[in-house]
Homo-oligomer: A and B are copies of this chain.
């Protein structure tokens, strides 16, 4: 993730904080001082926030170390103001592995809470209060008490059985033991969305912050269901199934003015650039064209402004792999090459169209048949 500050490595995993996280710390210092807190109180508040985020890092390390055990590469853990993100290379589709990876995060908070409980109990400082009012008091009391309650909150929040929470993955993994993954995801996502509507309703009556969480859960569930459906469609196809033969190639020696003429005279927006031997040497998108026009004027040669840094899949490549690589590297168009010959082009929006069409065509297969 860009704009992040690296804090070092744990077990080969980069730990980094996003710059917006610094803003949160500054904001807390500012709020405390402007409310008339002493320097000591303010320092305690900052240390408390940092400790919470250390617990979040440990939570993400839980997921990451379990993932590494199953051979999944983990690039980094990034701290954002809204929580932590572990960049796993890929979440295993094997339900048992996914279950254990998902459950490893909240388990860490359970262990931390257990240790804090033992420390407080051993010190004789533990009198378990009852009821919500006393919970409020608990939260206002000592540093360790508050840390205990934060870890219990992280535990409960993360086991909500809805995407994008860990609980959603646990539920999907459990359902996957009985049915195919697309159906399991779709059921888990529906449960998540029903829960989200419940949260939103509760939020309307009590804390409006719940409405924000509800929206987050609802969209997360929808996104996950869509991702898995899309992935299952792409896995069944090769690059040749989305190959486009109807396109206008640009020549690298032409001017940007020529590219603009073609852009404005038709619906094409993404172009492959060829040299005089009809070999693909670059790609040029609408955004590149507008940017280059702005910076270099329309008489500049296409070869000077095109993107030379691209890859060329072959028709037999897996569509799922190529699509993932296009997403990661933000390519919207690519030439497809076989035995040194340009076979056609593929583009991101066209692949999305293909997915839409396939979704409709596959719906003709009775849904129940796939569940049973």
Contacts and interface: CB of A to CB of B under 8 A. Distances in A.
Given A360-B293, A360-B294, A350 B267 contact: yes
A264 B293 contact: no
Given A244-B265, A267-B269, 9 more contacts: A34-B205, A244-B264, A246-B265, A264-B357, A266-B350, A267-B268, A267-B349, A290-B356, A293-B360
A100 interface: no
A27 B248 CA distance: 57
Interface of A: 27, 34, 204-205, 242, 244-248, 260, 262-270, 286, 290, 293-294, 298, 347, 349-350, 353-354, 356-357, 360-361, 363
A354 B264 contact: yes
A269 B352 CA distance: 12
Q: Which among A34, A245, A361 has the highest number of chain B CB atoms within 10 Å?
A: A361
Contacts of A347: 267
Identical copies of this chain, number: 2
Contact of A357 (B204, B265, B293): B293
B34 A357 contact: no
B247 A266 contact: yes
Interface of A is mostly: helix
A260 B360 CA distance: 12
Contacts of A265: 244-246
B290 A260 contact: no
A357 to B, nearest CB: 6
A353 B204 CA distance: 43
A263 B347 CA distance: 12
Nearest to A243: B265
Nearest to A27: B204
Contacts of A263: 353, 357
